[in-house]
Structure 1
Amino acid sequence: MGLKRKLKESKPKKGKKDVAEAIGSVLKKEEDESVTAEASMTFSSFGLDDRLLKAIADVGWERPTLIQEQLIPLALEGKDIVARARTGSGKTAAFAVPIIQKILERKATSNVQCVRALIMTPTKELSTQVTSHMTSLCSACSMEVRVLDFSAVKDVKTQKALLADLPDVVVGTPSKLLPHMDALGKQVEFLVMDEADLLFSFGYEQDIRQIIASLPSTYQAVLTSATMTDDVKALKKLALHNAVTLKLEEAQLPGAAQLAQYHIRCEEEDKFVLIYALFKLRLIKGKTIVFVANTDRCYRLRLYLEQFGIPTCVLNSEMPVNSRCHIVHQFNEGRYDYMVASDVADMGGHELEEATDAADGAGKSKKKKRRKEDKESGVSRGIDFHRVANVVNFDFPSTVDAYIHRVGRTARGWNKGTALSFATPKEGHLLDEVTRVLSEQMGGDIMKQYEFRMEELDGFRYRARDVMKAVTTSAVREARLAEIKAEVLRSKKLEGYFAQNPREQAALLHDKSLHSVNVHSVAIKDVPDYIVPPTLRGLNYGAPLVAKKKKNRNFSKTHVTPTQKRYQKKKGDPLQSFAF
């Protein structure tokens, strides 16, 4: 309907003012109609298979995000795509949905079973997450579309055995996929490179070149990333042909209406005092990820918080992949509200080293040793932590990109979030750089100063100092030993060994308790009113913060229901139970 026709139907009165009002009302009506049409966009608008639509409904996705609205139709048309969208915008589903749809269409016309899609990710955790997402989307057609994750399988022979079953989609890091390209690359139709800006920086360049050289001459490629770097442009030239570039959001983080960002300039000791006060006084509510600079800081901060009755879990690149995935699963389930994490790969490649032994009588430090870390691990990039309300940068990130990807763990999708960053005088220039870049991208004063009177936290400071002294290097070492022991006891590969050697398992189970921190008073977990700032007294901060446990639905042995009585009577009658 044209503008002239709409104006005629509106019948404006004579006069310039009336005509202008009529034009304005018509334009406003057209704008409202376009907004309504955009809001009514659903996944069924893409013409997807009914089984895929059912799985999407089961997952709980009501409508597609912006990246999904733009990418899915182009992918269904068979175009190569480079998609740049901020973290948490739904990029995984944007490429997973069209891949599953096209595989279902191929199987409707062909009986050939082969690997049709390769998905490359920079980290094992992201591979596991992508596999989980795709498995959920295949819930209604699991017999038709099978997904294999190489991330947790170390043995090449086991990988070959799993690959012999010819899954439809294979997910893994480039180093995991490369040894099997002779078997994988014959009939691959889809190639996805997720978090592409990390693939080269993680040292996968040669692996990727060999993988692409093994692929058929024609295939469809999708490249997704949160940032458009030179590495992404190099990958685009290497793997894509006449690609469509989707650059949907100029800002790499959500706006102030969705993501509130604050900073505090403080001393090193103030960090520990503040995090203790903020958690115990419930000034930070909801699931929270606390980022620190290295692995030792992870364990030190966890032990520190646990002395005040604040249970936390730890995630870092030195943990085995099974442990990392287990921790992510527990955090997403809600077993823990606080996670302390470090990500070496996003921290500018800082190497973890043994701390100096200050107790050495000669005053000499021990020779520094490098610890083994998993180069295929990532914490602040790609992993979809569920319903994270807050991100706390306990140690300020070393680069702007690291800040963006850390803070991107919250305010994902349509959810809101808060980011709080501590900055010591040595980290002040990093804070200034992040503030400048974000102000240029998003406009205005993005990072606001978090107002807090440190002089009112003297009571917390005295307690914090006592606990900081108790969390020694030996306590951190024992905490890490306890983690290793738990991993050994949880290992499936050692189940057979422990079954044949029960004394070995008993020795581990009854070993002395580790990670003990000597704090003089147990009452330190409580918060008496006299140390609470006057403006905050009366709040519900007294309830203990405990790790959530699954409800025990078993009835007490002394309580027997009528149904149980009838069952026991039937079981005791040999004519009914046939048990003699």
Structure 2
Amino acid sequence: MLFTDLGLSEPILRAIAEEGYTSPTPIQAKSIPAVLKGGDLLAAAQTGTGKTAGFTLPILQRLTSSKASSGKRLLRVLILTPTRELAAQVQESVVTYGKYTGLKSTVIFGGVGANPQIKAIAGGLDILVATPGRLLDLMSQNCVSLKDIEILVLDEADRMLDMGFLRDIKKILAALPKQRQNLLFSATFSTEIKALADGLLNAPELIEVARSNSANEAIAQLIHPVDRTKKHPLLAHLIQSNDWKQVLVFTRTKHGANKLVTQLEKDGITSMAIHGNKSQSARTKALADFKAGKLTALVATDIAARGIDIDQLPHVVNYDLPNVSEDYVHRIGRTGRAGSNGVAVSLVCVDEHQMLKDIEKLIKQKLPQEVIAGFEPDPNAVAQPIQLRSQQHQQSRKPRPAGLGGAPAKKAPAKRSSPPKRSFNR
């Protein structure tokens, strides 16, 4: 199937072609026609499968094919995302593929000044991409009206619930017209997501392109048992002995991320951390340097790393296993994207044995284990309690949890020498 088979207009197809793409991914091939029909949609696909274009492309098509009833430019589409970084990526997709449509859009999120955002909204918009917190802030100041919204998108809805945004979402829903199209996109179909969908969606079309809560088969997964005090030396050993050039490392806490960066730098491994306590410019620089190959290791917490989109990222390391099993699938989904292969390594100490069992139960597979010589775990080690994630969420709500924010680093224009048919994951 080609994009030209999906009923998209020439201006949108031209923008897609300029990016070098001709073939949709499975989620795009199914969701684009569904959105164009005008009905509600509940879609699940693994991270990295192209959910963003699955809704941005048909939304652009719908807006260009039907003018606002008043003839004036009205805010007709609201796209909600859980983090700044995700919001910025969605906005980048809207701008990239809508550049010949004449539609106007902007993105709003916290952590930066509100005045430029208020000015952009006042100038007239067709599409608004927003995080819940900043949107509610501007709504409370009467700076944005949602009375003309025709299409609502909840992107990464599972993460929004996980981050405690359900109350904010309900406040926003109450300000929307009752008659509208609702699109809910999620990495998984959890019980909570199904409950949200039941209350939000009207006879939705259901799309699921991969088995729920499954790990990408293109990702080689491996467990290295190790004592908690030897995790840092083992990580440095793996990076240096295997000559890893680019590795995304997940830690459980912001403090842990900062500490690990300091340790890796002492080992001569260029590293930066990305988490909610970092400044906007620091987060943007860290991701840009990592994408450009200036950093070997990008150390991230779950909230900050959600939505990081790096072409052909070879290695992901779970320095700490996540407390929420579904996050394991999201984490390792940073690699093995768009058909490329990736390696996901987890350093597991005695404290995390139950977490590992929960993850294996979720993904319905036993993960292979390999003890690295010189890093054998103490068989008599006693497990210590790990801080519950809910406590971390409580601490991270002020300021609101965020990803990078700002515009993600733009890829340099590629010299197209690839085969003519290509699918994309934006």
TM-score normalised by structure 2 residue count: 0.81
**Compared CA separation, residues 59 and 382, structure 1 to 2 (3 A):** same
Counterpart residue type for residue 9 of structure 2 = D
Aligned residue among 28, 43, 46 for 1:86 = 46
Match of 2:14 in 1: 54
Tell me, what secondary structure is at the counterpart of 2:368?
strand
Is 1:106 aligned to residue 66 of structure 2? yes
Is 1:43 aligned to residue 7 of structure 2? no
Q: Please give the per-residue CA displacement for 1:461-491, whole angstroms capped at 9, x wherever unaligned.
A: xxxxxxxxxxxxxxxxxxxxxxxxxxxxxxx
Instruction: Determine the C-alpha separation between the residues in 1 that align with 2:79 and 2:94.
Output: 11
Q: Please give the per-residue CA displacement for 1:204-223, whole angstroms capped at 9, x wherever unaligned.
A: 22322222222223111100
Aligned residue among 388, 398, 419 for 2:323 = 398
Instruction: Determine the C-alpha separation between the residues in 2 that align with 1:333 and 1:238.
Output: 43
**Compared CA separation, residues 411 and 297, structure 1 to 2 (3 A):** same
Q: How do 1:42-441 residues align onto structure 2 when only pairs under 5 Å count?
A: 42-107=2-67, 111-141=71-101, 144-151=102-109, 154-181=112-139, 183-256=144-217, 258-281=218-241, 283=242, 285-343=244-302, 378-438=303-363, 440=364
**Compared CA separation, residues 59 and 336, structure 1 to 2 (3 A):** farther
Instruction: Determine the C-alpha separation between the residues in 1 that align with 2:145 and 2:117.
Output: 12
Counterpart residue type for residue 280 of structure 2 = V
Counterpart residue type for residue 382 of structure 1 = G
Tell me, what secondary structure is at the counterpart of 1:160?
helix
Q: Percent identity?
A: 31
TM-score normalised by structure 1 residue count: 0.61
Work out the number of aligned pairs and report it.
374
Instruction: Determine the C-alpha separation between the residues in 1 that align with 2:55 and 2:9.
Output: 15
Instruction: Determine the C-alpha separation between the residues in 2 that align with 1:331 and 1:110.
Output: 46
Paired residues of 2:189 and 2:212 also in contact (CA < 8 A)? no
Paired residues of 1:393 and 1:420 also in contact (CA < 8 A)? yes
Q: Please give the per-residue CA displacement for 1:36-64, whole angstroms capped at 9, x wherever unaligned.
A: xxxxx011111211121121122233311
Counterpart residue type for residue 329 of structure 2 = I
Instruction: Determine the C-alpha separation between the residues in 2 that align with 1:338 and 1:157.
Output: 35
Match of 2:389 in 1: none
Counterpart residue type for residue 248 of structure 1 = V
**Compared CA separation, residues 152 and 386, structure 1 to 2 (3 A):** farther
CA drift of 1:255 comes to 4.4
Q: Which has the higher contact order (CA 8 A, sep 6+)?
A: 2
**Compared CA separation, residues 309 and 90, structure 1 to 2 (3 A):** same
Tell me, what secondary structure is at the counterpart of 1:305?
helix
Structure 2 unmatched runs, 5+: 377-411, 413-426
Question: Which region of structure 1 is more displaced relative to structure 2, 428-437 or 65-74?
Answer: 428-437
Instruction: Determine the C-alpha separation between the residues in 1 that align with 2:73 and 2:6.
Output: 26
Q: How do 1:447-486 residues align onto structure 2 when only pairs under 5 Å count?
A: 447-450=367-370, 452-454=372-374
Instruction: Determine the C-alpha separation between the residues in 2 that align with 1:437 and 1:161.
Output: 46
Match of 1:6 in 2: none
**Compared CA separation, residues 153 and 303, structure 1 to 2 (3 A):** closer
Counterpart residue type for residue 245 of structure 1 = L
Tell me, what secondary structure is at the counterpart of 1:238?
helix
Counterpart residue type for residue 146 of structure 1 = K
Structure 1 unmatched runs, 5+: 1-40, 344-377, 457-549, 551-580
CA drift of 1:106 comes to 2.3
CA drift of 1:190 comes to 0.9
**Compared CA separation, residues 138 and 333, structure 1 to 2 (3 A):** farther
Tell me, what secondary structure is at the counterpart of 2:188?
coil
Counterpart residue type for residue 423 of structure 1 = V
CA drift of 1:119 comes to 0.4
CA drift of 1:254 comes to 4.2
Instruction: Determine the C-alpha separation between the residues in 2 that align with 1:179 and 1:266.
Output: 46
Match of 2:402 in 1: none
CA drift of 1:453 comes to 2.1
Counterpart residue type for residue 3 of structure 2 = F
Q: CA RMSD in A?
A: 2.4
CA drift of 1:158 comes to 4.2
Q: Please give the per-residue CA displacement for 1:248-273, whole angstroms capped at 9, x wherever unaligned.
A: 211534444x1100001111233222
Tell me, what secondary structure is at the counterpart of 1:448?
coil
CA drift of 1:339 comes to 0.5
Counterpart residue type for residue 429 of structure 1 = Q
Paired residues of 1:284 and 1:390 also in contact (CA < 8 A)? no
Paired residues of 2:149 and 2:180 also in contact (CA < 8 A)? yes
CA drift of 1:163 comes to 0.8
Instruction: Determine the C-alpha separation between the residues in 1 that align with 2:63 and 2:233.
Output: 55
Which structure: greater helix fraction?
1
Tell me, what secondary structure is at the counterpart of 1:211?
helix
Tell me, what secondary structure is at the counterpart of 2:337?
coil
Q: Please give the per-residue CA displacement for 1:303-347, whole angstroms capped at 9, x wherever unaligned.
A: 22222221111111211234323322332233323211123xxxx
Tell me, what secondary structure is at the counterpart of 1:264?
strand
Tell me, what secondary structure is at the counterpart of 1:186?
coil
